[in-house]
Structure 1
Amino acid sequence: MQVQNETKPYDTINVTPMLDLAYVLLVVFIIMTTASVQGLQMNLPKPSSKPATEKHEIVVVSITPEGAFLFNGEGVSLEQLEARLSAAKARDKDMQTMIQGDAKTRYAAVIEVVDLCNRLEVSMGLVTTKIGV
Structure 2
Amino acid sequence: MSKAQEDGAVYDDINITPMLDLSYVLLVIFILMTTASVQGIKVNLPKASNTPSLAKPATKAITITQDGSLYLDAYPMATIADLEQRLVALKTATPEFPVVLKGDSAVQYAKVMEVLDLLGRLDLNQVGLVTQKLVK
The alignment's TM-score, normalised by the length of structure 2, stands at 0.52
What is the CA-CA distance between 1:121 and the residue it aligns to?
0.4
The answer for the alignment partner of 2:127 in structure 1 is 124
Counterpart Cα distance in 2 of 1:98 and 1:110: 12
Counterpart Cα distance in 2 of 1:111 and 1:62: 13
Please give the secondary structure, in 2, of the residue aligned with 1:121.
Answer: coil
The answer for the alignment partner of 1:58 in structure 2 is 59
CA offsets, 1:74-103, max 9 Å, x none? 110211100111111111112011100111
Q: Assess if the C-alpha contact under 8 Å between 1:56 and 1:96 holds in 2.
A: no
The answer for the alignment partner of 1:107 in structure 2 is 109
Rg (Cα) greater in structure: 1
Sequence identity percentage: 34
What is the aligned-residue RMSD (CA, Å)? 1.7
The answer for the alignment partner of 1:95 in structure 2 is 97
Counterpart Cα distance in 2 of 1:91 and 1:81: 16
Amino acid at match of 2:119: C
What is the CA-CA distance between 1:60 and the residue it aligns to?
0.3
Amino acid at match of 1:94: E
The alignment's TM-score, normalised by the length of structure 1, stands at 0.53
- 1:73 has 2:74 as partner: yes
Counterpart Cα distance in 2 of 1:119 and 1:94: 14
Structure 2 unpaired stretches of 5+:
1-55
Higher relative contact order (CA 8 A, sep 6+): 2
- Gap change, CA 1:103 and 1:120, over 3 Å in 2: same
Structure 1 unpaired stretches of 5+:
1-54
CA offsets, 1:24-61, max 9 Å, x none? xxxxxxxxxxxxxxxxxxxxxxxxxxxxxxx7621100
